[in-house]
């Protein structure tokens, strides 16, 4: 059984709460012949029940969330228009729900327009003091809801970023690398956009740790990551896959250009004096993505090229041969 996302549980919970809350109210409206509110409540409960089933079965949340927000707002404003301002209390939870369910800009626009309409209605129906208090409370609700929503989204983005970053070097981590390579495989399948990977490994890095200690070794890794970033394009991305191994992912790059980049990096790193007066060399394996090749097969070819460079004496660049379409087995 697949685990449901937080978004799914949120949509399902909101639907369930409103169905449980509104159905008894609808029954009461029907029993008291309050037909306008009865119709609104029935439509409301039916819509929430439909969206609950839709989300539960399809596991999709974008369309249900958008529909839910619009339904909430439309039915609440209809109730206020047809039965009076005593229904305005429903607008407060609806505003909060919109900021949970919609983009912040869209929720803010709809909330402001709705409050302006309600205040215009209130201005013609009740004393100015009551209208002013209503405007203050609704405005405060919008401000707090928008601030909380923005903060939550910023925090979520920050955590997502940290989840894909290697804490020592600032490069992407193994998880981010896998996601990136899978997206490039999909892009190549759809649009045939070239991509290459360079697997970079520090030669005999264990000797640096043994001689100078792990603290200086970590400083060397950080410096190496900085050098690679400073000598690649903004569109190239760097990942650390563990130990002294790094991956450079070069998008929209031919094999010849990727090889030239690998040679340049090897030469620059070989001429650099690292912390503690350390000198390093690197071996690099280069592989170009082939049609119908999976991300792991692509990585394996780069690793074999790197192994070949190590076997030939280190401080080398080796390139995996380009594969023809008939040489690649479709990834299962």
DSSP output for 166-231: -TTTSSB-HHHHHHHHHHHHHHHHHH---EEEEEEEETTHHHHHHHH-HHHHHHHHHHHHHHHHHT
Q: Do both 12 and 156 map to the same domain?
A: yes
> What is the CATH classification number for the domain harbouring 232?
3.30.70.270
Measured CA to CA in angstroms, residue 243 lies from 200, 204, 324 at distances of 11, 11, 33
Residue reference for tokens 């249900």: 64
Residue 332: inside a domain: no
Neighbours of 215 (CB within 10 A): 11
Q: Do both 159 and 178 map to the same domain?
A: no
Euclidean distance between CA atoms 128 and 198, whole angstroms? 70
Question: How is residue 36 written in tokens?
Answer: 């306008």
Residue reference for tokens 């479709």: 330
- Listing from the earlier edge strand, what are the strands of the sheet with 245-251? 237-242, 245-251, 195-202, 282-288, 317-319
Q: Do both 114 and 13 map to the same domain?
A: yes
Q: Do both 99 and 231 map to the same domain?
A: no
**Any bridge partners for residue 250, and if so which?**
196
Residue 168: inside a domain: no
Find the helix or strand (DSSP H, E) in which 242 lies: strand 237-242
Residue 331: inside a domain: no
Residue 13: inside a domain: yes
Q: Do both 55 and 196 map to the same domain?
A: no
pLDDT digits (tens, 9 = 90+) for 36-49: 889 988 998 999 99
Quote the pLDDT of residue 324.
63
Q: Do both 211 and 230 map to the same domain?
A: yes
Question: How is residue 124 written in tokens?
Answer: 């013609």
For helices 214-230 and 255-271, give the axis angle rounded to 10 degrees.
140
Euclidean distance between CA atoms 132 and 205, whole angstroms? 71
Question: How is residue 86 written in tokens?
Answer: 């005593």
Question: How is residue 299 written in tokens?
Answer: 């990585």
Q: Which of 109, 138, 163 is the last residue of a domain?
A: 163
Q: Do both 155 and 180 map to the same domain?
A: no
Quote the pLDDT of residue 331.
43
Q: Do both 13 and 153 map to the same domain?
A: yes
Q: Do both 251 and 277 map to the same domain?
A: yes
Judge whether 111 and 70 are in contact, CB under 8 Å.
no
DSSP 244: T
Q: Which of 163, 197, 228 is the last residue of a domain?
A: 163
**Any bridge partners for residue 288, and if so which?**
196
Strands 317-319 and 282-288: what pairing? parallel
DSSP 313: T
Euclidean distance between CA atoms 233 and 182, whole angstroms? 21
Global pTM value: 0.62
Q: Which of 130, 163, 196 is the last residue of a domain?
A: 163
Residues of the chain with pLDDT under 50: 1, 326, 328-332
Helix (H, G, I), strand (E, B) or coil at 95: helix
Residue 301: inside a domain: yes
Residue 327: inside a domain: no
Measured CA to CA in angstroms, residue 232 lies from 20, 196, 207, 225, 235 at distances of 57, 13, 27, 11, 8
Quote the pLDDT of residue 124.
84
- Domain count across the chain: 2
Q: Do both 151 and 192 map to the same domain?
A: no
Residue 235: inside a domain: yes
Quote the pLDDT of residue 323.
73
Quote the pLDDT of residue 157.
81
Q: Do both 135 and 196 map to the same domain?
A: no
Residue reference for tokens 């920050």: 158
Quote the pLDDT of residue 327.
52
Quote the pLDDT of residue 109.
95
Q: Do both 63 and 92 map to the same domain?
A: yes
Residue numbers of the domain that contains 114: 6-163
Strands 195-202 and 245-251: what pairing? antiparallel
Quote the pLDDT of residue 2.
56
């Amino acid at each position: 059984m697949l685990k449901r996302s937080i978004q799914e549980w949120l949509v399902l919970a909101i639907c369930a709460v409103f169905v449980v809350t509104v159905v008894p109210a609808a029954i009461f409206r029907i029993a008291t012949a309050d037909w306008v509110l009865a119709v609104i409540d029935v439509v409301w409960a039916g819509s929430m029940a439909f969206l609950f089933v839709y989300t539960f079965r399809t596991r999709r949340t974008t369309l249900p969330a958008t529909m839910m927000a619009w339904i909430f707002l439309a039915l609440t404003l209809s109730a206020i228009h047809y039965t009076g301002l005593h229904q305005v209390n429903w607008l407060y939870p609806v505003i909060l729900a919109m900021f949970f369910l919609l983009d912040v800009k869209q929720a803010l626009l709809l909330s402001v327009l709705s409050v302006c309409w309600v205040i215009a209605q209130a201005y013609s129906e009740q004393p100015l003091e009551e209208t002013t208090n209503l405007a203050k409370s609704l405005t405060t609700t919008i401000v707090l809801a928008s601030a909380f929503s923005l903060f939550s989204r910023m925090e979520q983005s920050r955590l997502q970023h940290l989840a894909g970053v290697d804490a020592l070097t600032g490069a992407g981590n193994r998880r981010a690398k896998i996601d990136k390579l899978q997206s490039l495989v999909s892009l190549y399948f759809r649009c045939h956009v070239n991509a290459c990977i360079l697997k970079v490994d520090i030669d005999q890095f264990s000797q640096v740790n043994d001689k100078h200690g792990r603290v200086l070794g970590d400083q060397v890794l950080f410096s190496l990551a900085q050098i690679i970033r400073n000598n690649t394009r903004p569109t190239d991305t760097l990942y650390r896959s563990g130990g002294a191994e790094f991956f450079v992912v070069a998008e929209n790059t031919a094999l010849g250009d990727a090889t030239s980049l690998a040679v340049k990096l090897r030469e620059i790193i070989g001429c650099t004096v690292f912390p503690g007066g350390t000198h390093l060399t690197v071996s690099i394996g280069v592989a170009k993505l082939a049609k119908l090749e999976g991300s792991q097969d692509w990585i394996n070819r780069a690793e074999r090229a790197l192994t070949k460079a190590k076997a030939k004496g280190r401080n080398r660049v080796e390139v995996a041969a380009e594969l023809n379409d008939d040489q690649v087995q479709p990834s299962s």
